[in-house]
Amino acid sequence: MAETGNAPAPAPSSTPAAGGDSTQPPPDSASPPDTGDVEKRPPEDSSQPSSGESQAIILRQPDGDDSAENAPDESKDTGGGGVSPIPMGEGVVLPSFSRPRYVRMEDVDALFYKGILSQQTVRPETFAPPDSSACWTLPSLPDTGTKTYLVGVPATVDDTRGGGFTMNGYGGTTALIGFEEMNADDNSEFERLFDMNAPVELMTIETPDDDETSWRHLGILVQYVSTSRNSSGQDPGFPDYEVHKYASDLAKKRWDSDAYVELEKSEPWTVMFEGRYRVLFFHRRSTLSLDTLRMLGEIVKFMHTNARAFWECGHWVTIDQEADDLSLAIHSGRVTRRNALRRRYQSLEKRALATPGFVKTLLYEPGLWKLPDRCCAWIWQDPRVEKLGGPKCDDLEIQLAETDLREPARTQWNTASSKSEWLQYVPTELKARMLSASERKENLICTK
């Protein structure tokens, strides 16, 4: 997600007035913030019916903008130096603010998510606004030349650039800027209005319904893995979701290069290799050809040599490459290893299938590692949970262990709680041939 004030957002379009004219947004009040409340002003023409449409509300203008089109209207009394109301259609008038950093927000359920601007498709036809509105305190914004707006119930997410993203709203495209956090009082009011608990939501892993294409994973918006010319999706058994493009910036904010390097010191890929399945479940070693046995040994050697790349593909963290030189080096290194692994794996698989006596069903053996078609996204816990009144984030090693238990395909099934977790992806006719535990005991894949 785009952050407040990190970079300029697209310039907003003018908003249609009640009479059909376009009105440019007025500038930020020159007066310093005070403790005044939001002043609600009625429509100028009370004979017009009140509209149920939501309102676009100006939060802040860039400092130092002296252009004529943004000059304040001196002829109107704004009630304490605040922003004058702007008509927004039949009977709908913006409130006047004596404090530009305070704002009355209506219809924000589809836009806000646990104190941050939610970047996802908004469907107005299914949107239900809250029964009441509230007043949130926004943090000060750096002077980036970015105009900050909030638009209630716009249509669909249109673009993501710089410090904000745009949505098709009233009169065209309007720039929206999110803010990092709300204070404790604002967060409490937000949760009351929308029946939400931010710490709980940020620690929840949702299960999508059959008709859902996106959902939340530890507070990050995810979607099913995308398809391409060379791929129809994820391989069976592996996590089949990826970070939604509108949430990539949020995922990057959780990145910690030092914590990742510390985790790497424990070499989790070595642990994964040492804990691998070492026996054949569906094929008797005594019936396999010598060429096949040699190839099985070569495959195990390949797994050992490329264990780190296998592990990285199963634990693909969203890295903020711009955070520091170390982060860029980590990302570049893993991409190089992943690309090399893909080439070598495809070559090895072709040679294996061309080996005399090597049957394709051997590739279903859990002790022969599979390379997922798509790298498996690993989403870290949000470090803000503790600040929002929730528990402290687990250490990365604990998060890794929990992730591997929940999704054992990441470790090539050696963290599976039972064989049934991977057997469901084995063809029925092959499962019927599974050897007994006593038969498997000496039925080693490789004797070295």
Mean pLDDT of 125-150: 37
- Class of residue 440 by CB neighbours under 10 A (exposed 0-12, middle 13-18, buried 19+): middle
Element of type H or E holding 340:
helix 325-353
Taking all residues of the chain, what is their mean pLDDT, rounded to a whole number?
A: 67
| Res. 192 pLDDT band, cuts 50 70 90 | low
Q: Where are the beta strands (DSSP E) in 294-436?
A: 316-317, 377-378
pLDDT at 188: 57
Half-sphere exposure of 55 (CA within 13 A, CB side): 24
Q: Which tokens belong to 115?
A: 């104190």
Element (H, E) at 243: strand 241-243
**What distance in Å separates the CA atoms of residue 347 and residue 194, rounded to the nearest whole number?**
54
pLDDT of 155 higher than 60: no
Question: Over 50: is that where the pLDDT of 216 sits?
Answer: yes
Which pLDDT score is estimated for 445?
96
| Whole-angstrom distance, CA of residue 37 vs CA of residue 98 | 7
Question: Cα–Cα distance between 303 and 310 in angstroms, integer?
Answer: 8
The kind and range of the H/E element at 223 are: strand 220-224
Q: Could you count the other beta carbons within 10 Å of the beta carbon of residue 45?
A: 12
**Separation between Cα atoms, residue 220 and residue 214, nearest integer Å:** 10
**How far is 97 from 41, CA to CA, in rounded Å?**
10
Burial class (CB in 10 A: 0-12, 13-18, 19+), 321: middle
Say if residues 292 and 358 touch (Cβ distance below 8 Å). yes
Question: Which pLDDT band holds residue 63 (cuts at 50, 70, 90)?
Answer: very low
Retrieve residue 181's tokens: 């956090």
Q: What is the pLDDT of residue 125?
A: 39
Burial class (CB in 10 A: 0-12, 13-18, 19+), 299: buried
CA 233/CA 253 separation, integer angstroms: 27
**pLDDT-derived band at 419, boundaries 50, 70, 90:** very high
Give 349-403 pLDDT, tens digit per residue: 999 999 999 999 999 999 999 999 999 999 998 887 777 666 777 889 999 999 9
**For residue 198, pLDDT beyond 50:** yes
Task: Tell me the percentage of the chain whose pLDDT exceeds 70.
Answer: 54
| For residue 126, pLDDT beyond 90 | no
Q: Which residue has the higher pLDDT, 221 or 379?
A: 379
CA–CA distance, 261 with 333 (Å, rounded to integer): 13
Average pLDDT of the residues in 229-237: 81
pLDDT in tens, 253-276: 899 999 999 999 999 999 999 999
**Residue 139, pLDDT above cutoff 60:** no
